[in-house]
Amino acid sequence: MSGMKTIFFGGTCILMLITVYLIFMWVPTEQNLGISQRIFYVHVPLGWIGMVSILVVGIASVGHLCTRNNTWDAVAYSAAELGVIFATLILITGAVWAKPVWGVWWSWDPKLTTTLILWFIYVGYLMVRSFSIPGSQGRRYASVVALLGAIDAPIIYMASIWWRTAHPNLNIGPLAEADSDLDGKMYITFFVSLVTFTVFYVYLMLERIQMRKIEDDLDEVHQYVSLT
């Protein structure tokens, strides 16, 4: 695993440098939104990672429930810890972008509201894991919370289609409109940024899963010593 981590870490560093150059030196400034539009290349990839992470939590939780394999649980817990960080960054960057565009830091826009719900689901999952009785029972309860979050992820993506929302129409993804107003340089910069944040997320996951396994081993040793 150390070799994979080295590869992903090196890839993250290189891609991050390329992404920063593309965002601030190469991509054109959007005429209607001005310089504030450049946060799009950070905000949307963060949203992608936030939604992917809760799906990872849900899938890994189901895997743990079916197999009782602690590796699945380590993946779920690690994804939840990283997910709450990325969800927080989604809300912060969204507020920073909303102020110059909408004139307010926050509005109860459907996409914003469902993203805030996702943040509470992440926090709820971690709270259940922290305050429940150690063992499989607490993990089962947390898995239910994770599954609720997995349902919320596609709702966030579809919010701008299902409800009237201040957010622009979908520019990316399978349901994006064909007549998107993003030019070629914007698309390239966005996809490079998306790949960069995805590689960065995988690297963080590998690091955190390894640490989580060590924590589980230490907990087992502690429980054994307490019993003896």
The tens digit of pLDDT for each residue in 1-11 reads 667 888 888 99
| pTM listed for this prediction | 0.84
Q: Evaluate if residue 122 carries a pLDDT over 80.
A: yes
Domain spans in the chain, listed from the N-terminal domain onward:
2-22+37-176+197-227
State the pLDDT confidence band at 13, using cuts at 50, 70 and 90. very high
Greater model confidence, 203 or 67: 203
Cβ-in-10-Å burial (0-12, 13-18, 19+) of 34 comes to: exposed
User: Rounded to whole angstroms, how far apart are CA atoms 58 and 150?
Assistant: 6
What pLDDT, on a 0 to 100 scale, did the predictor assign at position 40?
85
What pLDDT, on a 0 to 100 scale, did the predictor assign at position 173?
55
State the pLDDT confidence band at 133, using cuts at 50, 70 and 90. low
Q: What are the pLDDT digits (tens) for 153-205?
A: 878 777 666 666 656 555 555 555 544 566 778 888 889 999 999 999 999 99
Q: Check: CB of residue 134 under 8 Å from CB of residue 219.
A: yes
Average pLDDT over residues 27-44: 76
Q: Evaluate if residue 18 carries a pLDDT over 80.
A: yes
pLDDT averaged over the chain? 80
Greater model confidence, 223 or 138: 138
* DSSP assignment of 195-216: HHHHHHHHHHHHHHHHHHHHHH
What pLDDT, on a 0 to 100 scale, did the predictor assign at position 169?
59
Give the rounded percent of residues in the chain with a pLDDT score beyond 90. 23
Q: Check: CB of residue 37 under 8 Å from CB of residue 171.
A: no
The CATH number given to 2-22+37-176+197-227 is 1.20.120
Greater model confidence, 174 or 134: 134
Residue 57 corresponds to which tokens in the numbers above? Answer: 């939590």
Give the rounded percent of residues in the chain with a pLDDT score beyond 70. 78
What pLDDT, on a 0 to 100 scale, did the predictor assign at position 21?
93
